[in-house]
Structure 1
C-alpha cells in the first residue's frame, strides 16, 4: 500500500560514508575564502585564495614598504568560519637591504580582535596553547615557513610587513596545516536536519565546535624546541615550570641563557597560578638593557590574568648582546632580597617587603610590597617578541646545599620535566583557542553532543583516562580526582606533582558523571571496571566532607567551579550538594550493573543521596523567597544553574517545582532579546551574563516539566547571536558566554569555540529527532520526538551506536497526519513513542502499510538483524 503522506525531504542523508570518513580527510592546507581588506602597498592579494596544484609557486601576493610610506602594508584574510592548525606561509621572493625580513601574522576568532596588535590574545594560562596570537616570522629567503605551535581557533588572519623600509616580500601561500578533523558535517556519524534551517545550522555549529576541540594524540607540539648542543629554544611563550618543584623554598638557580631577539625570561617560586618572573629586555645592538621583575605567568596581560610589574633595573652597563651565552644566577632565600648575577657579576637586587602579605588571587590585587612568596618552582619562557635559548640548569637548596634538580636542557626528556611535551593521548579541550586544557567539567554538555554528532569517543575517553591515571587513589585510599589535564603532562612520571593538579569537589563529580554518560552511550563496561576503585575512593572522600546537617561544605580551591568569574561557591553550596546526589545516583546504577555487581555499594549510595536530598530541602530552601540559596556564604539571590539541576534531578519537591520553573523563566528579562541570565538582578557580586551551559540545563529542566514553549524560547534567544552570519563575531561555532546585549562576554578573551556551549546539538538529536539510549550502549533505546518547536514541520537524522551502524529517523507533520520512518541496527531493541498531541488526534494508524487496530502510542522495533519501520498516523 503506497503512502498518502510522502516525505518532503530527500533520502540523501541516508547515503553517508561516515564509516570511511577518515579516508575522506585528504591532507591539504586550509586556505582563506576571502580577502577582507588591505592597507599600504599590496598587490594581487586574491592569489592567496587559490591552491598550488603543481607544487610550484604560482602568482604571488606582494607586500611592500617604501621609503616615506605612511601606512603599514597589511592584509586581512577571512576563512569564513573558525579553523585550526599550524600557520604556514610560502615565500616566493624577498627584497631587503638586510636580513631577516620580519613578517607578523595575527589571528582572531572574532573580527574585533584582528584589528588589534596582538590579535585576540595573548593567552598565557595553558602551555597547551600558543601564548601569543601573533607569530613573528623572520624571513631569510624563499621557501616554506611554519609557526612553531598550533593556533586552535580563528576565522581571521592578518599579515603585516613590519621590517623597516625599503623592503618587499611576495607570498604564494598563507594558510593552516590542519591539526583537527574537518570532515564535512553531513558526513559525520551523526546528522540532524529539520525544516528550520537556523536550527539545522545550529546543530552543525555545535558539531564544528566539537571538531575544533577534539585533539588527536601527538598533534600538540611542545612550545620548546630542544637541541643537543644549544639547549631549549623558546619563542614568545609563557614561563613553564619544573613540575615537582612547587614546594621548594630557599634555593639558588644557575643556568646559561642566550638572547636571540628581544630578550629572555625565567621564573622562580612559581606555582600553578603564577610566580615571580625575571624578564630581560635587550634592544638590538645592546643599546638598552633592562631586567624587570613581574608577578604572573607572562609579561603581557590576559583578560583574567593581569601581570604585575614589581621592579625594573637598568643593566645597559653589562653590555649584553644577542647571540652570546651568559651565565645567570638567581638567589632566593626567605624574605631577603632576590639577587641576580650575570657572568658572576651582581646585576641587581630586588627588595622583599611586607613579608606577611598573602598571595593575591590576581596580580592586579597585589598589596603594596608584594610579593611574599615563600616557595615555588623554577621555569623558563620568553616575553612578547622575544626568542632565546637556555641550557645547563642547576637548582640547589640553601642550608644545606643540595642539588634539587639539574639538566643540560639538551635532551627531549626535559619536556616531560616541565610538562610541555606533546599530548600522549587524544583529548577534548574546553576551548579551541583557550584554555586548550583537558578539563572534566566541559564534558557534561560536550559529551552528549559528541555522542550524537562526531562520535569521537577516543577524545572523551582520553580526558577520563588522563584524570584517572593521574589520580593517586590506590588500595582503598580516599581523595578528590584531578579536574583536568595539561596536554603536555607525561603519564610515566610521578603523579604526585606540585604544578599541574587541580583538585575541586565539583570537578571530581563532573568526572564521575562523565564516566556514567560515556558508559550509557557506549556500553563500555571495561571503563567503569577499570576505574571503579578510584570512583569509590572519591565518593568516600566527599562523604567525609559532609557535615552534621548532611551537606557538603567546601572552601578555597575545593569550592571552585567552571564559572570562575562568579567567584568560589564557598560554604555549603546547593549546586555542589545536588551534584553529589547526581553522582551518587549514577554510581548506584553502575554498581547495580552486571559489570560491577556491588549491591551493597548501590544501597549505600542511594541512602546517602536520599539523606542529602532531604537536607537540601530542609536547610537550603528559603521559604520566604520561595527558592534555594546559592551557598550559606552567599545566601542572597537566585541562580539559574542551581535550580535547573534541582528540577532535572527531582530533588525539589513536586509542590514547588512549578513555582521554581517560573522563577527560572523570570530570568528571561532585561537582556537584548530576553535571553535568561545566570542570576537574578538582585544577586550581589556577580556580573550580568548569559551562559550557554547553564541555559542548556535550563532547557532540560523545561523539557522535563513539559514546558516546551519556554525551552524553545531559551534555545532560540541564547544561541541566535551565534547564528548571525552578518555579525563581526560570527565563527560558525558556539561561544563561551555573552553580555546582556548578546556580544561575547569579556570581549575577545571569550572563547568562540567553547565545548560546554554545544548543548543544542544533543538537545535537538535527543528531543527534536527523538533518539536516546535507555540502557548502556543503546541495547534498548527510545525514539520519541517531544520538542515540537514553532515552524518545525519535519526532522531527519542519524544517531551513532556502538554497533557501527546508526539509528536513522525521519518524521514529518502533515495537515492530514504525521509520519515517522526509522531504521535500527541489528541487536538493538527500541520503542517508538508517538507524540501525545499526535496520538490524541488519530483516526487511524498504519505500521509498515498495515492498519494497526489498537495501541498505546508505543510501538516496538528491532531485536533482530536490523529493521525498518514506517508509522503513519491519519487525523
Structure 2
C-alpha cells in the first residue's frame, strides 16, 4: 500500500507528496510518501507526525477493504469561531481573512509533550525509522576523526551522516545502505527539494543482511572519506573527484556533527558509537542503550519540553525567533494562549549568549539548559548554534546568524507584555529582553549613528534594520521606563533621517542603495519616526509604494525587484506595513492591502488551505510551489489588525488594564463588528453597529480594567468617552452628524 500526505491538494499528485522535508528532524516525518506492507487483520499506525497535513491518499496494490481509517491530531481541533479571542463583522471576506491566521496558529503552536520522539530507546540500542539523520549536539569536529558504530538493519537498510552541517550550511555528507549498495550523497537528502540541495555523488556495492549487527567505520578527513563495514573496505574517495555546486571550502567537509537515520521506509537499530582522533584520543563515546530521556535530548528527538509556536506546521517546524513578531499578536487575538508564546521564548532565551544574542531557529527536541552547560564546561559561552543540532561551538561575537531577529525578538517580548501585562513570567524574563536591548545599542556605529549589522530585513547601516531597531528600543524603553534607552533611540532616529531622500520622498535602503525598502517604510511609521500627522513625509513615502505594488495587490520587498517576475510577495513583510498603515490611520490603504494579498489565500479552491501562506507569487499562487509552508504564522497579521483597528479594541496599558475602543466602520466598510478579547483580568467584549443616524458601541469589561470609546469628530478632534469601572454592558452612542 502507498500512502501520500500533503498540506496543499496539489501535493497528492506528486510521487513524494509535497515532501520531503530534510532541513531538520523536527519531531516529524521527513517523508510525505510511504510504501507499506499490510496483512489481513493488521492495524497500522503511522509512527511519525505529518506536519500540517490536510490531505492523504491510500493506494492498495490489490483490492482491499479497510475496517476503519482515522486521523490523530497533535494540535488543537478547535474551530476559529470557538476560540476565546474572536473577531466578526458584517464583511464575510474579512471574517474569513481573520480565520486564516487563527487556523494557522492552531496548526503551528503546540502544547508541551504533544510532539512525540521519533526514536525508540532500549537496552539493545536505539531503533530509528526512516528519517533525516538526527545529530548529536555533543560533538563538533574541526579536525579529522574516525566514527565507529554498530547498526542492525531491521527493514531495508541503514543510514548515517557526517560533516553535518557543512560550513556553508548546505547540509552534509549522507551515507545510506539501500538495495545492496552504499550511496554517498551531499546536501540535505538524496532528493532535491526547492531550497534544500541534494546530490547523489556515488554508489558502491555492499552485501549485508537484515537482522545482523554490522560494525561500520567511517574515516572523515580534510580531503577524503573512507568507509569500512565488518572489516571490509567499501570505498576510499577524494572529495576532489566530485563536482558539487556550492560545496564548502577545503577542509570544511569534515566540520560538523554526525548522526543516525535510515532512508525512506527503512528501519535500523544503532549502538556503540565512538569517535576518535588521528592520534587515538577518544572524542566521543556512547553506547546508545540508555532508556532515559538523556539520549533523546542529546540527539534532538526528545518529546517537546516546552509549549512552542513554530515557523510553520509543515516546514521548517523550527522555533524561528523573528517569525514570532506576528505570531505573538495573532495568538492573543485568537487562541489566547500566552503559555505557548512564553514556552517558545523560554526555549529561545535558554540559549542566550553573554553578549545578549539569541539563536534564530533552534530545533525542538534538544535541551537548551544542557547545551549551555556543555558550552560553559568548554568555556564557549559566545557560540553559534550549528544548524539544527544546536551545537555550541566557538564563534565570533554576534555570529548567531540573522541579528535583526534579535531585534524582532525584543519586539516579541514587548508585544507579549503589551497584550498580557506584567505577569510573573514577564518580570522574570525582563533580564533577557534587557540584554537584547544592550546588544542592539552596542552595535550602533559611533561615527554614522546607524546599526552596524545586516540581516533578513536589509543591509548593515541600512534603513530597514535601523527603523526596526528604533521601534524595538523605543517601545522597550517605554515599557521598562528606561530613559537612558530612550535617549539612545532618539539618537538613532536622528541618524536614520540622514537616509531620507528628499527628491524621491522615501528612505534609501542604505547610503549605497537608493531603492525603497518595504520593511523600512513600515518600521519608519511604526517606530514613530514618521507620525500620522506628518503629511510632509507620510504622503510622499506612501506614494512611492506604488513603485513596488504588484498587479494583484501587495508589495515587493524592494524596488530592486520590480523587473523580476519571479520575485515573491512576502505576507510577512507586507504584514509589517499592514499594521503600520492601520496604526497611522491609513485604513483605506490597509484594507486594500489586506484584500489584495489575503483574499488570494481564500478564493481559489485549488490552492486554499484555510491558513496563511509563507510566500505568494505575483500571480497569487503559493510562492514556493509545494515547498511553500501553507500554515505560516508570520503571514497572519490581519488576524490581529482587524480586531485592533477595524473593530478598534486596543490596549493602552499592558494587559488591557487600560484600553480604548475606536471603531472604523467607514474605512473598512462595516455596518457592525464584534470582538471578544481574553485578558489577564477576564474577557473584554465589544459590540458596535452603525446606522444612518448613529454609531452604537457596547462594551463589557472586567471591573479591574479601565476603558474608553474614541471617535474622531468632523473638526478633526478625537473625543474619548470614559467607561465606568463596573461589570455589565455599557453603551456609548455617537450621533452620525458629529463624525
- Fold similarity call, TM over 0.5: yes
2:702 matched residue in structure 1: 825
> Which aligned pairs between 1:62-141 and structure 2 lie closer than 5 A?
103-128=1-26, 129-141=28-40
- 1:6 aligned partner: none
Find the partner of 1:186 among 76, 81, 95: 81
Q: Write the distance in 2 (CA, Å) between the matches of 1:632 and 1:171.
A: 66
Distance (Å, rounded) in 2 between the aligned partners of 1:777 and 1:157: 42
Distance, in Å, in 1 between the alignment partners of 2:667 and 2:20 is: 41
Equivalent-residue separation in structure 2 for 1:874 and 1:610 (angstroms):
41
Where 1:612 maps in the other structure, the secondary structure is helix
* Cα distance in 2 between the residues matched to 1:407 and 1:608: 54
Q: Does 1:463 align with 2:344?
A: yes
| Cα deviation, residue 370, structure 1 | 7.3
* Superposition deviation, residue 260 in structure 1: 3.0
Deviations, residues 350-380 of structure 1 (Å, cap 9, x unaligned): 213399x9xxxxx74338x978424211111
Task: Report what 1:429 is aligned to.
Answer: 310
The range that moved more, 861-870 or 691-700, is 861-870
Task: Give the structure 2 partner of residue 150 of structure 1.
Answer: 49
Structure having greater relative contact order (Cα 8 Å, sep ≥ 6): 2
Equivalent runs, 1:798-809 vs 2, <5 Å: 798-804=676-682, 806-809=683-686
Counterpart residue number, 2:480: 591
Matched, 1:380 2:263: no
- Cα contact 1:114–1:158 (8 A) shared by 2: yes
Q: 1:706 maps to which residue?
A: 585
Deviations 1:597-638 (A, max 9, x none): xxxxx12211211111111111x33445432232456x1532
**What are the superposed Cα offsets for residues 424-475 of structure 1, whole Å, 9 maximum, x if unpaired?**
11001111111111222122112112111110111111111111122243xx
- The corresponding residue for 1:280 is 176
Cα distance change of structure 1 residues 205 and 625 upon mapping to structure 2, 3 Å threshold: same
Match 1:251 to one of 145, 151, 156: 145
* TM-score, with structure 1 as normaliser: 0.77
Q: Does 1:484 align with 2:344?
A: no
Answer with 394-403 or 602-611: which moved more.
394-403
Question: Is structure 2 residue 735 aligned with structure 1 residue 863?
Answer: no
2:390 matches 1:500: yes
Query: Where do residues 557-596 of structure 1 align in structure 2 (5 Å cutoff)?
Result: 559-561=454-456, 569-592=458-481
The equivalent of 1:232 in structure 2 is 126
**Superposed CA RMSD:** 2.6
Counterpart-to-counterpart distance in 2, 1:626 and 1:178: 51
Deviation at 1:776, TM superposition (A): 0.7
Alignment partners' CA distance in 1, 2:491 and 2:59 = 63
Q: Paired residue for 2:324, among 443, 464, 473?
A: 443
Q: Output the CA distance in 2 between the equivalents of 1:527 and 1:606.
A: 24
User: In 1, Cα distance between the equivalents of 2:340 and 2:221?
Assistant: 44
TM-score by length of 2: 0.90
- Supply the distance in 1 between the matched residues of 2:554 and 2:259 (Cα, whole angstroms): 44
Q: Is 1:834–1:858's contact at 8 Å kept on the other side of the alignment?
A: yes
Secondary structure at 2:723's aligned position in 1? strand
Whether the aligned pair in 1 keeps the contact of 2:614 and 2:634 (CA below 8 Å) is: yes
> What is aligned with 1:546?
444
Alpha-carbon contact 1:827-1:866 (below 8 Å) kept: no
In the other structure, the counterpart of 2:651 is 773
Partner in structure 2 of residue 306 of structure 1:
197
Counterpart of 1:67? none
* Contact 2:336–2:678, Cα closer than 8 Å, also in 1: yes
Q: Using the alignment, how far apart are the partners of 1:401 and 1:819 within structure 2?
A: 78
**Aligned: 1:535 with 2:430:** no
- Aligned twin of 2:596: 717
Unmatched segments (≥5 aa) in structure 1: 1-102, 284-288, 358-362, 564-568, 593-601, 841-854
Report how many aligned residue pairs link the two structures.
708
Alpha-carbon contact 1:276-1:293 (below 8 Å) kept: no
- In 1, Cα distance between equivalents of 2:563 and 2:342: 39
Q: Give the equivalent residue in structure 2 for 1:360.
A: none
Which of 543, 553, 557 is matched with 1:678 structurally? 557
CA distance in 2 between counterparts of 1:193 and 1:705 reads: 23
SS of alignment partner, residue 810 of structure 1: strand
Q: Determine if contact 1:121/1:749 at 8 Å carries over to the other structure.
A: yes
Q: Which digits, 9 at most, give the CA deviation of each residue in 1:393-413, with x for residues without a partner?
A: 111122252242323355342
Match of 1:650 among 515, 528, 534: 528
Q: 1:665 to 1:786 in 2, by over 3 A?
A: farther
Q: CA deviation at 1:219?
A: 1.0
Are positions 1:348 and 2:247 aligned together?
no
Partners of 2:323 and 2:634 within 8 A in 1? yes
2: CA distance between counterparts of 1:731 and 1:544?
A: 43
Match of 2:95 among 200, 213, 218: 200
Distance 1:322 1:400 in 2: 31
Closer, same or farther: CA 784–677 of 1 in aligned 2, 3 Å: same
SS in 2 for 1:420: coil
Name the CA shift for 1:658/1:142 in 2 (closer, same or farther; >3 Å). same
Q: Distance in 2 between matches of 1:227 and 1:686?
A: 54
CA distance in 2, matches of 1:648, 1:662: 17
Inter-partner Cα distance in structure 1 for 2:415 and 2:137: 32
Query: Could you list the runs of 5+ residues in structure 2 that have no partner in the other structure?
Result: 376-384, 392-399
Q: Kindly tell me: are residues 125 and 145 of structure 1, through their superposed partners in 2, closer, same or farther at Cα, counting changes over 3 Å?
A: same
